Chain A
Amino acid sequence: MFLAIKEIMHNKARYLLVIVTFVLISYLVFFLTGLATGLARNNRTAIDALPGNYVLMSKYANKNLLSSVLTKDQYTDAAKKGTSLLGQMTVVAENPTTNKKMNSNIFGINLDGRLRPKVTSGRLPAKNSEVLADDSVTYYGVKQGDRITLNGSTQKYRIVGLTHDRRFATVPVFYTSLATYRQIKFGQKQIANVSAVVSPKKLKNLPKNTEQVTKAALITNIPGYTAQTMTFMLMIGAMIGITLLIIGIFMYILTIQKIGMYGVMRAQGIRTSAIVAALFWQILVLAVVGVGIGIGLLALTALWLPKTIPFYSDPLLLAIITAALIVMSLVGGLFSLRRILHIDPLEAIGGE
């Protein structure tokens, strides 16, 4: 630690470069992670909130909730105690006064049942012309109390309450009664179809042409979800790998420049282990400072970022990535280790 800190303080400009590198890399990785997490959450929070891990849906739907339709015959057996009916529909909501349009979903549910979301403001719908909205609708120019049309309907629906963290396929969810959902989707309330049945327990004896999937499978089959998360994960993984290379090469170059000086230390009888310790302490200090600044910048960015950009910083994930970056840079130090282990005290002679 002594040698590590003294050297950093004496060669501030040189080590500042290393710190700046850490800041840039960590900031980029954190930002990408925030976007990836935000986007993933926007795809799935409404599904995560489903009160059960098993979802019964049409077999032909290819695990895609958007395509699933269950008829009354298909769901009657499953719709017993503990399960919930869910009708999903992708809609465009419009604020008739501003003509602002917004992509969104309807989740038609039994408003007294287990699927009922937690109301964070206002109240649950009491009439078929009332809806409960995810609070992110406010980013798109509608608020509680506003009236909206759905898919160009003449009927206007009033947002009587808000809930939190209920988005599906990246857009907000409106919760309505099943009757409202059926009216909008099939044109009349009497068509008793739903999209899926949610059950906390695995169902036995599946009805004809149905399939039972887990919540996790439902999420990975949200169109685009897996492709998006994989892309981000690849980028983040590549950046973490690049950290190893950049920091490893950086420290290696610095080490090579210091061989003569290390020779002096070895001649003075300072053990190789002390030199190795100095190297890794140095990397650790530089990494912690650099990544710390990166986190600070990320916090500032999060404050300043428009709410419509999907960005979410998950502390646990940030901690894991911080650890990964630091570990990777220490691993990068191994490039130099080989050279340090082979330092000959004679290298002190003929140095500057």
Chain B
Amino acid sequence: MALVDLKQVTKVYGSGHTAVTALHPTDFTLSPGEFATVIGPSGSGKTTLLTIMGSLQQPTSGQVLINGEDTTNYSEHQRTDLRFNTFGFMLQGSNLIPFLTVKDQLALVDRFNHHKQHDMSMDSLFTMLGITDLARSYPAELSGGERQRVAIARALYNDPPIILADEPTASLDTSRALQVTELLATIAHKMNRGVVMITHDTRLLDTVDTVYEMRDGVLQKLDASGVQKIRAAAV
């Protein structure tokens, strides 16, 4: 069963004269263990797609199935709990709470989730991501790359079956960007999670299973030759 199944999902922002169609009817599926990326120019609707998948907003039309369940008519409360239990987010913009140390960012999850055992303890997550020494630092004291790694730790901590990452490599240099991408690939392949990563950077596609291209709100799945083409175009 697919983790995510979008059926003919559309999104129109605003109404009347100012209406913007950010997403034309779109189908999309994500399976456990799959690392998918969405590439495409700025303003093409990538973030819109991701936020609809992640229950951060509702589509204008179409159906959003998560773990086979139709979430289209979920209440705000249900969607909040769905986000908490099902998704690990790395959003475009801020992902960390400024007044909490790295350790407390994760500890906060425990405060709202008393019963669940974690697949990976906080310490082993920190070790895996190489941020053990940062546990007592505040987000403002971290570099962009460190912040992204903490955001990954935070996203993984609640053992979500799905990780959604919106340009997680945007503020990183190439080697750091490759590291983060490899990490996301590991999470998908070794931990059997579904991972969707949005990126501009076509150099990061080596470890990716599926590549989608978004153009003006139209999503298209690329085959191997399609991927070759956009990589060549970028060089």
User: Chain A residues in contact with chain B, CB under 8 A?
Assistant: 2-3, 6-7, 9-11, 260-261, 264-272, 274, 344-346, 348-352
Q: Tell me if B100 counts as interface (CB < 8 A to partner A).
A: yes
Whether the Cβ atoms of A269 and B82 lie closer than 8 Å is yes
Determine whether the beta carbon of B99 is less than 8 Å from that of A6: yes
B111 CB contacts on chain A under 8 angstroms: 2
Of the candidate stretches B28-36, B59-67, B88-96, B209-217, the one touching chain A is: B88-96
By the criterion CB–CB under 8 Å, are B82 and A261 in contact? no
Q: A-contacting residues of B (Cβ < 8 Å)?
A: 47, 51, 54, 56-57, 77, 80-85, 87, 89, 91-100, 104, 108-109, 111-112, 138, 154, 166
Judge whether A269 and B87 touch: CB under 8 Å: yes
- The one of A10, A267, A272, A346 in contact with B99, judged by C-beta atoms closer than 8 angstroms, is A10
Query: What are 7 A-B residue pairs whose CB atoms fall within 8 Å in the complex?
Result: A3-B108, A6-B104, A260-B93, A264-B91, A267-B54, A348-B94, A349-B93
Contact B57 A346 (CB under 8 A): yes
Whether the pair A265, B97 counts as a contact (CB closer than 8 A) is: yes
B51, B112, B166: the one within 8 Å of A271 (CB): B112
Q: How far is the CA of A144 from the CA of B53 in the complex (A)?
A: 89
Question: How distant is the Cα of A272 from the Cα of B109 in the complex, in angstroms?
Answer: 15
Q: Which 9 A-B pairs have the closest CB atoms?
A: A269-B84, A269-B83, A10-B99, A7-B99, A351-B94, A351-B93, A345-B56, A349-B93, A350-B93
Contact present for A270 and B89 (CB under 8 Å): no
Instruction: Pick the residue among B77, B81, B91, B100 that contacts A267 (CB under 8 A).
Output: B91
Measured CA separation A350–B166 after assembly (Å)? 11
- Contact status A264-B95, CB under 8 Å: yes
Least distance between B121 CB and chain A CB atoms (Å): 19
Residues of B contacting A261 in the complex (Cβ-Cβ under 8 angstroms): 94, 97-98
* B109: A residues at CB distance < 8 A: 268
A271-B84, A345-B57 provided; 16 other pairs, C-beta below 8 A?
A2-B108, A10-B100, A265-B97, A267-B83, A267-B89, A268-B154, A271-B77, A271-B80, A271-B81, A345-B83, A348-B95, A349-B92, A349-B93, A350-B92, A350-B93, A352-B94
- Contact between A269 and B85, CB atoms less than 8 A apart: yes
Partner of A268, one of B57, B83, B138: B83
Residues of B within 8 A of A6 (CB): 99-100, 104
Q: For the complex, what is the distance from the CA of A264 to the CA of B91, rounded to whole Å?
A: 9
Are the CB atoms of A268 and B99 closer together than 8 Å? no
Q: Which partner residue on chain A sits nearest B51 by CB separation?
A: A346
Pick from A7, A11, A261, A268 the residue with the most CB of B within 10 Å: A268
Residue from the set A2, A7, A345, A352 with the largest chain B CB neighbour count within 10 Å: A345
CB distance from B100 to the nearest CB of A (A): 6
**Contacts A2-B111, A274-B112 given: A268-B98 contact, CB under 8 Å?**
no
Supposing A2-B111, A6-B99 touch, asked if A268 and B56 sit within 8 A by C-beta, the answer is no
Instruction: List A contacts of B93 (CB < 8 A).
Output: 260, 348-352
**Which residues on the B side are within 8 Å of A267 (C-beta)?**
54, 56, 83, 89, 91
A264 & B96 in contact (Cβ 8 Å cutoff): yes
Task: For residue B49, give the distance in angstroms from its CB to the closest CB of chain A.
Answer: 13
Max count, chain B CB within 10 A of own CB: residue among A267, A344, A346, A349: A267
Asked if A270 contacts B94 (CB within 8 A), the reply is no
User: Are A270 and B82 neighbours in the complex by a CB distance under 8 Å?
Assistant: no
B108 touches A349 (CB 8 A): no
Alpha-carbon distance A226/B13, docked complex (angstroms):
64
Residue on A nearest B158 in the bound complex, by CB:
A269
A223 to chain B, nearest CB (A): 58
Bound complex: CA of A136 vs CA of B7, how far in Å? 88
CA distance A2 to B105 in the complex (A): 12
Least distance between A10 CB and chain B CB atoms (Å): 4
Q: Could you tell me the distance between the alpha carbons of A2 and B95 in the complex, rounded to whole angstroms?
A: 19
**Knowing A348-B91, A349-B91, A350-B92 touch, does A10 contact B83 (C-beta < 8 A)?**
no
Contact status A270-B104, CB under 8 Å? no
**A260–B80 contact, CB under 8 A?**
no
